[in-house]
Amino acid sequence: MKTVLITGATGDVGTHLARELAGKYKLRLSDRRPLKAKNFVKADISKMADCLRITKGVDAIIHLGGYSVEGPWEGILQANIIGCYNMFEAARRNGVKRIVFPTSNHATGFYRRDEKIDHRVYPRPDSRYGVSKVFGEALGRLYADKYGMEFLMVRIGNVHPFPLDKRRLSIWISPRDIAQLVSIGIDRADLKFEVVYGVSGNKRSWYDNSNAHRLGYRPQDDSEPYAAEILGAEAGQPKDPVAERYQGGTFCADEYDAPIPPE
Ligand code: 15L
C-alpha cells in the first residue's frame, strides 16, 4: 500500500479526501492546525525543515496546504508561494516523485462564463490567490521538466457534498469524484505533467475536461438534479454583473480590490 502525505489535512478538501482515501492508501496527514488523529504530523510549510520532515519516506503527496481563498499578500506569499516551493523542493530532495497539486478554478477565473475552456488555455487568475495557484502550476512544470518529477494539476472547482449555488452548478465536484481524480494522480503509471479540471460530470460545466477523461476519469456525479431548486431560490436576487460574467464569480468583482484586513 502506498504511503501518501496530505498537507492542509484539516481543511474542507483535506477532510473529504482523508475520509474517501482511508483504506486505499496509508495516509500521513499534516497541517499547521492541530488534528486529533494517530497519523497526524504538525508542520508549517513556510519552513523548509518541516517540509523535509513530513515528506520523508512517502510515495506521493497531495499538497493542499496553504490559503484556499483570496487573502492578504503576506499570507499568500508565505503559505502559497514559499510554502509551495518548500514542498516541491523537499519532495525532490527526499526522492518523492509524484505530486497531486490542487490548483483552482481561480487560476482561470477571468475566462467568461460563455466560454468553454480546456486544459491548454493560458491562465487568467482572478485574485492573488489565483496567481499563487498559477505559480504552483509553473513550479510543477519546472520540476517535471528539469527533475523528472510527476504532477497532476487539478484545477478544482468546489468540493462539497452538493452544489452550493448557481455558479457552483458549473464547477461542483463531489467528494467521491475528487477522490477518484486524485487517485488517478497517485496511481497512473505514465504520468509526467497533466492539467485537468476538478469538476464532476456537470451538464452546465464551463470546461472541456477531455484531458481528465483521457487519463481515465469517469465522474459519477452531475449537479443537474440540484439545478431547479438552486435556480429557483436565486431567482430575483440582486447580482453583481461582473461576478456574473466571469467564471471566478465574486473573486473577479470590485469588492476584492478593497484592502483586505491583516491576518
Ligand atoms: C477555491 O479555489 C476555494 O478553495 C474554495 O474555497 C472555493 O472558494 C472555490 O474555489 C470556489 O470557487 O467556489
Å from CA of 58 to ligand 1 middle: 28
Å from CA of 65 to ligand 1 middle: 14
Which residue among 69, 171, 174, 200 has the greatest number of ligand 1 atoms within 8 angstroms of its CB, and so is best to mutate? 69
- Please say whether the beta carbons of 127 and 251 come within 8 A: yes
Taking residues 195-207, what's their average pLDDT? Answer: 98
SS3 content of the chain, % helix, strand, coil (to 5): 40, 20, 40
Query: Quick one: pLDDT band at residue 53, thresholds 50, 70, 90?
Result: very high
- Residues marked as catalytic: 129
Q: What is d(CA 262, CA 43) in angstroms, rounded to the nearest whole number?
A: 22
Instruction: Tell me what the pLDDT averaged over the chain comes to.
Output: 95
Instruction: Report residue 110 as a C-alpha cell.
Output: 477571468
Residue 115 has pLDDT above 60, yes or no: yes
* C-alpha R_g of the chain: 18
Å from CA of 147 to ligand 1 middle: 30
| Edge-to-edge strand list for the sheet holding 40-42 | 40-42, 26-31, 3-7, 60-63, 98-104, 150-156, 193-198
Q: Which residue has the cell 435556480?
A: 231
Ligand 1 pocket, Cβ-based, cut-off 6 angstroms:
68-69, 104-106, 156, 158, 168
Residue 262 has pLDDT above 60, yes or no: no
Instruction: Report residue 117 as a C-alpha cell.
Output: 475552456
- Please say whether the beta carbons of 163 and 225 come within 8 A: no
Q: Give the ligand 1 atom nearest the CA of 129.
A: 2
| pTM, entire model | 0.95
Residue 126 has pLDDT above 70, yes or no: yes
